[in-house]
């Protein structure tokens, strides 16, 4: 478990910095409200940190899924004629595209 500090808190100065990075203008009331709300969120994480999870295996997905992909099946592909049927321009057995420089 990685902990940055013992009792992490968000300061008003940090809220102002994040708002500046996001180019968001906040009023003084909004800065105070966001500071309070973010610190309440961190308090919830502190409660989670109190739980002993040493015997719990990490969960990567809420469902016990192993492989959700279908099996590969070898099937015949399109013929050249079918693949080129809707091409706007073709030359021999290739799709012709404009030059890109």
Residue corresponding to tokens 């099937």: 75
Q: What is the mean pLDDT of residues 53-82?
A: 84
CA-based angle 60:64:66, to the nearest 5?
85
Residue 3 confidence (pLDDT): 42
- Give 73 or 4, the one with higher predicted confidence: 73
Determine the length of the chain.
101
Highest mean pLDDT among 17-31, 45-59, 81-95: 17-31
Beta strands 94-95 and 90-91, pairing class: antiparallel
- Give 68 or 37, the one with higher predicted confidence: 37
| Separation CA 66–CA 60 (nearest Å) | 11
For 12-49, CATH gives 1.10.20
Helix axes 12-21, 28-49, angle to 10 degrees: 110
Task: For 4-19, write each residue's pLDDT tens digit.
Answer: 456 678 999 999 999 9
């Amino acid at each position: 478990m990685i902990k940055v500090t013992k009792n992490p808190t968000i300061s008003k100065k940090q809220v102002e910095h994040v708002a500046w990075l996001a180019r968001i203008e906040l009023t003084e009331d909004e800065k105070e409200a966001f500071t309070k709300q973010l610190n309440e969120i961190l308090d919830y994480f502190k409660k989670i940190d109190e739980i002993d999870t040493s015997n719990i295996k990490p969960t990567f997905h809420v469902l016990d899924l192993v492989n959700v992909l279908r099996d590969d099946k070898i099937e015949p592909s399109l013929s050249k004629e079918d693949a080129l049927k809707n091409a706007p321009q073709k030359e021999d057995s290739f799709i012709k595209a404009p030059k890109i420089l």
